[in-house]
Amino acid sequence: MTPTHEIPSHPTITFTVNGEACSFIMGDGSHELPPSYTLAQTLRERLGLTGTKISCDHGACGCCTVLMDGKAVLSCMLLTVECEGKEITTIEGLGNPVTGAIDPLQQAFIDNTAFQCGFCTPGIIMSAKALLNENPSPTVEDVKEALAGNFCRCISHYHVLDAVIATVKKGGE
Amino acid sequence: MKEYRFIGKSTPRKDALDIVTGRTKFINDLTVPNMLYGKVLRSPLPHALIKNIDTGEAMRLPGVKAVLTYKDVPDWMGGLPLHVRILDSKVRYVGDAVALVAAETEDIGEEALRLIKVEYESLPAVYDVEEAIQPGAPQLYEQFPGNVLPQGIPAFGPHSLRELVIGDLEKGREEADFIVEGSYAYENIPNPLPPESPGAIAAWEGTDTLNVWSASQGPHMIKVSLQRRMGSINLHSMGTPVGASYGSKFMSWQYVLPAAALAKATDRPVKFCYGRSEHLAAFTVRLGSRIHGEVGIKKNGEVTFLSGDWLVNTGAFSETSQAMVAVGCGEVQLMLRCPNWSLKPKVVCTNRTASGQIRGFGGQELECALLPLLTMAMEKADIDPVNFFKRNYVKPGDGYYWRDGNWWVCRGIDYTKAMEQGAVRFGWKDKWKGWLKPSSVKGVKRRGIGVGVHGNADVGEDVSEAYVRLDPNGTATIYSGLAEHGTGQRSNICKMVAEILQLPLDRVSVTPNDSRVNPYEMGPVGSRGTYAIGSAVIAAAEDAKRQLFEQIAPKFAVKPEDLETEDGMVYVKGKPGTGIPWIKGMDYDRTVMGRGRFEPDFALPNFMMIFTEVEVDTETGKVELLRVVGATDVGQIIDPPGIVNQLNGCLGSAGIDSALFEETVIDTQLGRIMNPNMIDYKWRTFAELPEMEHVILETPIPSHRFHAIGVGEIATSPGPSAILMAVTNALGVRIHDYPLTPDKVLSALGKINTAKRRVK
Ligand code: FES
Ligand code: FES
């Protein structure tokens, strides 16, 4: 009377990253994903998606921002196990997967030189993208509010605001 | 003014696409096969001897490959003069390194740190710069009695500037209409806090070759400065894009040496990146700067003498503080024409995290402490500060002692016009109501204005070398060890070369930052990117062009000087129809290599003035920064959005905000930094941006091919003192204790009684 279906002792977790399904077996074995892994760690260390940056690792700076079901989240503050069934988008997944064209927001960052060192840039672009998903025609004040959790030490803020507003204007044309 | 094809035009940064798509690989994005992770056990005590250290249990943890203590690390040294071991039997600040671990994962490494048992013998600690020099004060180093470091820096030559003694103080005293004296300080030791914490990967090849990848502002200098200290090894230094530095990642031995020691002990590559609180608590902060000074002024605003003791608190060691003192002593003469000086610096060690290289490099620290004294003098003479700076900022023909101890005569430009236009844009005349007078008062809100100035003649410091290689397919490659740390300078040198060779920008590129490939490069520090690095690259491009024409001239049967090139075609001047592509002239199996070198030149000071307007709420004590206007003259803008970005940088990285809310707070009972995280260490957010404008003039600078001079480094420097002046004027009472947090404002207004000042 051996049971045929045992509950697996190592549960798996499955979610989508940039349109592709990925699953991990959770556990402390060498090929498993430790339950303590944050989403940021999983993205960077297991999926090679190093575009997502870790700065404070503490929920304070926004460098690790990614989209979860279209909304901005701090990937350093989320455990990977919390992502079951979610759709995650990282900076690498913006743009058109068919044509390979970058997102208009990314183009606006290039056109406005909306960065200096660029370390904060992926997080800022993802926060701005989440805002535009929710509100396609934000005011400058809305943008400032939405990006208030994003640290930029080089003070590229002014050019970032120009870039986001330029995207809004282009979208409205 | 000459119209250029690329220079002065807004062009996308060459690295822009990688940055906005997340493809840029910063140091912590890199891995090397078989790599281990380095971790550092840090001291919980500010000053102690290590009596016993037991690493057995940590060593037995599976996945741990090495645990090093002071007993078994190589004797590689850092500091100026060399006095800092990677690990020592004595710890000198909370956060000082006690042991190093290399492990298969970061988590294992951290677990191992917890298993190391250390017995300390606690020693008394000292934090205040003046207490540290008292007889009987705790001594940090045996070789530095009284905690005072020897002055001078060999790299600046045998006469490197140690103090400023010029003229005759007595004469200056006699000539003064007013003399003021006082003690002021800028010692809130703000953290430049780049978003990327410092880090490196080290891997040995055999026993005598070390490969280092690092986030460094001067990767080539890692090779130059460390390989000798490490026993004459070959050090290959690969620089990664730097997630900003603001000067702080120039002296990279603090992270390169531990990684190299662990890599040696394990015979595997080791990555060591600071964690965030480690970065905030144990990496370098600004110098502490305190002045006891006296200054004489005439009614017309002429300064007749300045004397003072400049006490520089460098924390647990000197990374390069004597160099910063030398440059600071130079820079103060640019800000202030004065015939009689006696400024005596003292660099002092105390039991807190070390101070190190940060933009402003000594000058910002000195001037921020000095400005309250100068403004009191201006107030006595009843002179408008803009007029004071106009009269006293260095002019062509004026001389000054620079860091090398030599007397240099300014061959730069007169910045009076930039000051005047900045004042007009700011509306200074309308808002300036006199000393200690607000520009407006509405209920509990009082507004005030202030202005600061700073200049630096390091735009031409040190040597740069570059090569430019031309390939027959009509492309140019720049060989330069220039790091990209946010200024866009790697892109800008492409613009310079594209301009000279008249090549489309996408046909010009820079080699990877690798010391095996590139010639000597000091690095983009002190605003030297445009003049020093740029001139080396320009010379290499001109040399390559000359050789190209020499090769091709026989085909046209003309002299090389008669040729011109555009878009990879060569033709006889004035006859575009004669053009042939480079490949026809050179053949497919040849390249041309041009060489360029820049020699130091300290005769061209740059200039930055910052006007600020603040609003102080006298009920809450909160100071709000409303508006900033920057004024400068750069000769020729290379990249318009780039320079605006750099000037906007005046707020962060231990700049303007170090007068408003940024500070590293030390608990002087325990010696600990109380705010080593990005919530308690305050920084400016998108929601709190002041209005920001810049007046950027372009008066051609004679010594540069495109008549340009750099200014980025000093964008932060004039800001803090301008804020102090603005708040003082808004309140109508003197306030000078950086940063001007609400408690200090309210106590200046007599509304609260703050307990004894925090001692740093
Ligand atoms: S790294 Fe996630 S918020 Fe700072
Ligand atoms: S661009 Fe450097 S921190 Fe934002």
What's at B6, amino acid-wise? F
The interface predicted TM-score of the complex, written ipTM, equals 0.97
pLDDT tens track for B571-608 = 999 998 889 999 999 999 999 999 999 999 999 999 99
The sheet carrying B270-273 orders its strands as B64-68, B97-103, B36-42, B270-273, B199-205, B209-214, B234-239
So what CATH class is A12-93? alpha beta
pLDDT reported for residue A29 = 84
Q: How many angstroms separate the CA atoms of B441 and B690, rounded?
A: 19
List the beta bridge partners of residue B409.
B399
Residue ranges of the domains in chain A?
12-93, 104-170
Q: B29 vs chain A: nearest CA distance in angstroms?
A: 6
Q: At what angle do helices A104-111 and A157-172 cross, to 10 degrees?
A: 130
Separation between Cα atoms, residue A79 and residue B84, nearest integer Å: 40
CATH 1.10.150.120 given to domain A104-170? yes
Q: Which two tokens stand for residue B61?
A: 């943890």
Among A71, A172, A78, A83, which Cα is nearest to A131's? A71
Amino acid at position B660, single letter: L
Predicted local confidence at residue B390, as pLDDT: 98
Q: What pTM was estimated for this model as a whole?
A: 0.97
Question: What φ, ψ does residue B201 adopt, rounded to 5°?
Answer: -120, 135
Across chain A, mean pLDDT equals 94
Give me the domains of chain B, ranges plus CATH numbers. 16-24+462-598 (3.30.365.10), 31-123+196-243+249-282 (3.90.1170.50), 288-395+407-459+603-748 (3.30.365.10)
Q: B651 and A155: CB-CB below 8 Å?
A: yes
Residue B262 has pLDDT above 60, yes or no: yes
Q: How far is CA A85 from the centre of its chain?
A: 16
Q: What is the pLDDT, as a whole number, of residue B702?
A: 86
The predicted model gives A10-25 an average pLDDT of 94
pLDDT at A1: 46
Counting ligands in written order, the one closest to the CA of A60 is 1
**pLDDT for the residue numbered B760:** 41
- Across the interface, which of B485, B644, B687 has its CB nearest the CB of A144? B687
Strand partners, B401: B407
Residue A13: both structure tokens together: 């977790």
Does the pLDDT value for residue B1 go beyond 60? no
Calpha distance B455→B394 (Å, rounded): 9
- A144 contacts B195? CB cut-off 8 A: no
pLDDT digits (tens, 9 = 90+) for B627-636: 999 999 999 9
Q: What is the pLDDT of residue B753?
A: 83
**Average pLDDT value over all residues in chain B:** 96
Q: Which residue of B has its CA nearest to A101?
A: B21
Query: For chain B, what percent of residues have pLDDT higher than 90?
Result: 97
Rounded Cα–Cα distance for residues B366 and B343 (Å)? 11
**Spatial CB neighbours of B281, under 8 Å, sequence gap ≥ 6:** B42, B94, B95, B353, B672, B673, B676
Work out the average pLDDT over B403-422. Answer: 97
Q: Is the predicted pLDDT of residue B549 greater than 60, yes or no?
A: yes
CA of B242 to the centre of ligand 1 (A): 18
Q: What is the pLDDT of residue B232?
A: 87
Contacts of B278 (CB under 8 A, 6+ apart): B40, B42, B95, B197
Mean pLDDT calculated for residue range B39-50: 98
- Residue pLDDT, tens place only, B318-373: 999 999 999 999 999 999 999 999 999 999 999 999 999 999 999 999 999 999 99
Q: What is the pLDDT of residues B281-305, one digit of tens each?
A: 999 999 999 999 999 999 999 999 9
pLDDT tens-digit readout, A93-122 = 999 989 999 999 999 999 999 999 999 999
Please list every residue in chain A whose beta carbon sits closer than 8 Å to the beta carbon of residue B685: 148-151
> Which pLDDT band holds residue B251 (cuts at 50, 70, 90)?
confident
| pLDDT the model gives residue B759 | 44
- Pick from A44, A56, A156: which is nearest to B276 by CB? A56
CA distance B147 to B316: 10
- How far A2 CA lies from chain B's nearest CA (Å)? 36
Which residue of chain B comes nearest to A161, CA vs CA? B686
Which ligand has an atom closest to residue B275 CA?
Answer: 1
Of B375, B398, B378, B182, the residue nearest B297 (C-alpha): B378
From A20-34, B347-361, B524-538, the region with the lowest mean pLDDT: A20-34
Q: Are A154 and B652 inside 8 Å of each other by CB?
A: yes
Looking at residue B755, its pLDDT comes to 56
For residues B415 and B335, is the Cβ–Cβ distance under 8 A?
A: no
Chain B hits for A151, CB-CB cut-off 8 Å, are 195, 678, 683, 685
Q: Is B575 helix (H, G, I), strand (E, B) or coil?
A: strand
Going from the Cα of A150 to the center of ligand 2, the distance in angstroms, rounded, reads 10
For residues B299 and B514, what is the distance between their CA atoms, to the nearest angstrom? 57
Q: Which of residues 89-128 of A touch B (CB under 8 A)?
A: 90-92, 94-95, 102, 106-107, 109-113, 115-122, 125
DSSP state, B529? Answer: I
Q: One-letter amino acid identity for A151?
A: F
Question: Ligand 2 centroid vs B697 CA: distance in angstroms?
Answer: 26
| Overall residue count recorded for chain A in this entry | 173
Strands B464-471 and B475-479, sheet pairing: antiparallel
As a whole number, mean pLDDT of residues A4-23 equals 82
Please check whether residue B63 is in contact with residue B104, taking contact to mean a CB–CB distance below 8 angstroms: yes
Residues of B in contact with A35 (CB under 8 A): none
What separation in Å is there between the alpha carbon of A155 and the centre of ligand 2? 6
Res. A83: pLDDT tops 60: yes
Please tell me which residue of chain A has the smallest CA distance to B642: A113
Give the CA count within 13 Å in the CB-facing half-sphere of B439.
20
For the segment B705-719, what is each residue's pLDDT rounded down to a tens digit?
A: 999 999 999 999 999
Percent of chain B with pLDDT over 70: 99
Q: Which of B16, B488, B678 sits opposite A60 (nearest CB)?
A: B678
Determine how β-strand B36-42 pairs with β-strand B90-91: unpaired
Measured distance CA(B563)–CA(B35) in Å, rounded: 53
State the sign of the Cα–Cα–Cα–Cα dihedral A105, A107, A113, A116: positive
The secondary element (H helix, E strand) that includes residue B525 is none
CB atoms within 10 A of CB B716: 31
pLDDT in the model for residue B57: 98
Q: Is the predicted pLDDT of residue B672 greater than 50, yes or no?
A: yes
Q: CB contact, 8 Å: A60 with chain B? A: yes
> What count of Cα atoms within 13 Å lies in the side-chain half-sphere of residue B73?
27
- Judge whether residue B758 has pLDDT over 90: no
